[in-house]
Amino acid sequence: MSQPAAKPSSHKPSPPLGDILARLTALHPKRIDLTLDRMWRILDRLDHPERKLPPVIHVAGTNGKGSTVAYLRAILEAAGLRVHVYTSPHLVRINERFRLAGTLVTDDDLRAALAHCEIANEGAPITVFEMETAAAFSMFSQHAADIVLLEVGLGGRLDATNVIDKPLASVITPIGIDHREFLGHTLTQIATEKAGIIKKSVPVVYAEQPPEVTAVIEQQAGRLHAPLHGCGQSWHVNVERGRLVYQDDRGLLDLSAPRLFGRHQFDNAGLAIATLRATDAFPIDAKAFEAGILDAQWPARMQRLPLGPLVASGPADSEVWLDGGHNVDGGRVIAAALGDLEERVSRPLVVVVGMMGNKDAAGFLANFAGQTRHIIAVPIPDQDNAMPPAALADAARTLGMRVEIADSVEAALRSLAQLAYETPPRILITGSLYLAGSVLAANGSLPQ
């Protein structure tokens, strides 16, 4: 018996996220334009979703923001809490920036939120990051959760996220020189922008900082009567016998080492623990701290790449590591992590690097001068403002490094596969989160 012909669907397929993002990007000529005026306007038109959120932990800093948020989320979820998260930038898909009660936002939910904000905006000038932030607040206000983890996009004082009147805590990760064209050319100027997230009477939890940065944080906190919880003062974190030992005036926690690799990850984990103990808003026991430290994941931060088509193009049995570090201090902690690896198992090191044009390439690469003389400079796909590989190569040569230029990461790995190594090499791909995202996509190692 024949089936009746199906009626044509009257439902029009939803436009892809790329179409919506392209329209939103066209609303403002600059990708970055720091002010809160446009943010207050769109939030007013959306009936202020930022006032309807669960309690918020706000995280600023130069390095370690994403990893600290990852530890916070893992610990809170291990304690049975539902956690919304907003981070930036993404590596492969924009969905990575938004977690609704622990799950990456779906295309449909994100499309709906962006469209809602687009209608409310009525075509007024606004940056795409401001629209994405408004969409995050809109979604978070409509989905139940116990807490929101909110990462600053750039700076702090004038960042689109800095519209929360009274968060649970203001967290400041290590501050260094970066984004000088927007934040200032000195550590004091940059720290002043970052410390702009501090709110009246809200606890400030901060990582170990250079003295001039600590002075800025203490001055701003004092002006706003915000309690201070500083590393090395109110709390301490150390590595003892390979374990993480955290101590504050409430006692000591002896925990397993983080799964995320590198000495700096002990510091990031300690900052997350200190934040949750300073706020004391949720009952979190030692088991939840232990589970969270072990479970936390954050891609492209000293990430050992699994087998995949990109890795397979390199030398057999080599180690391939990926880190999105892109400033001088980021290079320093990567180099320290490589030193730890070298102590465990010695291998020749090759650094495949691509950077954006506004970065200090020589300062970044200088961190690796004592570990390798072999640098391969590559372009960053689909980034008009990327540093030309020839300029990267010049920076490496000034440091006495042997440098080559390749057309892509894959080409670099293929060239290494042609060399005769007595010991398979350790290959680090680094210099930019944009480069890291393209590597994860090419290798099929998509963030979850």
Domains of the chain in start order, with CATH, are: 17-295 (3.40.1190.10), 303-443 (3.90.190.20)
* Confidence check: pLDDT of 11 > 80: no
Indicate the pTM of the whole model.
0.93
Residue 129 has a pLDDT of 96
pLDDT in tens, 288-344: 999 999 999 999 999 999 889 999 999 999 999 999 999 999 999 999 999 999 999
Sheet (strand 251-255) strand order: 235-240, 243-248, 251-255
* Confidence check: pLDDT of 3 > 80: no
* Confidence check: pLDDT of 160 > 70: yes
Q: What angle is formed at CA 127 by the lines to CA 192 and CA 115, rounded to 5 degrees?
A: 135
* Confidence check: pLDDT of 180 > 70: yes
Give the rounded percent of residues in the chain with a pLDDT score beyond 70.
96
Residue 34 has a pLDDT of 86
How far, in Å, are 80, 187, 206, 237 from residue 360 at the CA level? 43, 15, 26, 30
Give the rounded percent of residues in the chain with a pLDDT score beyond 90.
90
Residue 360 has a pLDDT of 95
* Confidence check: pLDDT of 284 > 50: yes
Residue 10 has a pLDDT of 35
Model confidence at 58, pLDDT cuts 50, 70, 90, reads very high
Lookup: tokens for 2: 């024949």
Residue 446 has a pLDDT of 86
Higher pLDDT, 29 or 235: 235
372-381: average pLDDT: 95
222-241: average pLDDT: 97
pLDDT in tens, 259-281: 999 999 999 999 999 999 999 88
Residue 29 has a pLDDT of 82
Report the chain's mean pLDDT, rounded to a whole number: 94
Q: Which residues pair with 374 in a beta bridge?
A: 402
Residue 5 has a pLDDT of 37
Model confidence at 1, pLDDT cuts 50, 70, 90, reads very low
CA 105 vs. chain centroid, Å, equals 17
Model confidence at 374, pLDDT cuts 50, 70, 90, reads very high
* Confidence check: pLDDT of 442 > 50: yes
CA neighbor of 374 nearest in space, from 326, 415, 342: 415
Residue 13 has a pLDDT of 39
Lowest-pLDDT range of 119-133, 176-190, 401-415, 419-433: 176-190
Model confidence at 8, pLDDT cuts 50, 70, 90, reads very low
Residue 181 has a pLDDT of 86
* Confidence check: pLDDT of 12 > 80: no
Residues 6+ apart with CB under 8 A from 281: 55, 147, 168
Rounded Cα distance, 151 and 168, in Å: 14
